[in-house]
A and B are shown apart, each in its own frame.
Chain A
Amino acid sequence: MYQTDMYEGVIAETVMLRGHNGDWINAYCARPLGPGPFPGLVLAHHMPGWDEWYKEVTFRFARQGYITICPNLYFRSGHGSPEDVAAKARAAGGIPDDQAVGDLEGAARYLRALPTLNGKVGVWGTCSGARHAYLSACRTQVYDAVADLWGGRVVMRPEDLSPNQPVAPLDYTADLKIPLLGLFGEQDFGPTPEQVTVHEELLKKLNKTYEFHMYANAGHGFFYHNRPAYRQEQAVDGWNKVFAFFEKYLKTTR
């Protein structure tokens, strides 16, 4: 536990890494100063893009002792303000799932090459980022834990599939080999509580290690302090659950 006479330091900067297909993309990386070893976290940003909120959260996780990296999943959409770039990605119907999985895997490999890593890497995302985090956790073997915060379109109807999203993430659940944390709001339209139940039933059936928490009086994006969806009580509790989950699976050496 932190004491006021302890040294604190975090450095945060833009870095470049190899993503999907070996492409260079940029990423925001925040890491605690000191010899470590530190656990690592990959953050999958949401549809509004590689924005200020995700930079803040990257920094927040670093302050909690994680080498944290948030790759710019919209790098190939061009450069400009995060909103303008995200709008371009939105107009294209989002980014291809394969590309997102490849970019997130590249970020995990970037962390795994650091000498200060403790050997553990988690992946965390919200909204479409949670969907990408879950997909990435199922389809690659580079993580030790995954957190899905109100990820929509994990459960998909056949008519919702598209060239960019050809397979429902739910269909990869059998391949999930790491612990999963899920945080959801009862008032969310996507994922609806019913969709969360479908997901949970499959996790149970497949005997996966998971914990799901469904919050009352909360909808989609209840951590977003800059949006009307913010719910203070639920967000504080949710953050505590996130930190406890990653502490359990990433900070301890098993």
Chain B
Amino acid sequence: MCSMISMQIQIDGCGKNGGAWFNLREADVSFDHPFNAPFEHALNIDFVNEAQGPGARVAVELSADSARALVAAIQQVLERAEQGGFLEKQAV
């Protein structure tokens, strides 16, 4: 089914799509039908810049287990970066 489970957060960063980088402004996270991954449902993340239109999008479609592993890896890497004193150097 279409779960309609989705949420959007504001982000700062860059994404690469079709060989060109662009500024990212939003991340859309959903658990719903993927377009390509071979699952009925997937954890989908669309890194987008809505102001630039629907084509300004970098997409990933992950299994639930992969998504949880990714979250854990991101947390661990950020903790190490924080412990190393790197985060303060990345003032946005």
Contact = CB atoms under 8 A, between A and B. Distances in A.
B77 interface: no
Nearest to A49: B35
A123 interface: no
A23 interface: no
Contact of A80 (B39, B46, B54, B59): B54
B32 A47 contact: yes
Interface of B: 1-4, 6, 8, 26, 28, 30, 32-33, 35, 38-41, 44, 46, 48, 50, 53-55, 57, 59
Contacts of A14: none
Contacts of B6: 90-93
Given A127-B1, A190-B1, A84 B40 contact: no
Interface residues of A, number: 38
Nearest to A228: B38
A157 interface: no
Given A79-B54, A80-B53, A81-B55, A90 B28 contact: yes
A91 B8 contact: yes
Interface of A: 46-48, 77-81, 83-88, 90-94, 127-128, 131, 150, 152-153, 160, 162, 165, 188-191, 219-221, 227-229
Most A CB within 10 A of own CB, among B1, B35, B39, B59: B1
A78 B53 contact: yes
A47 B2 contact: yes
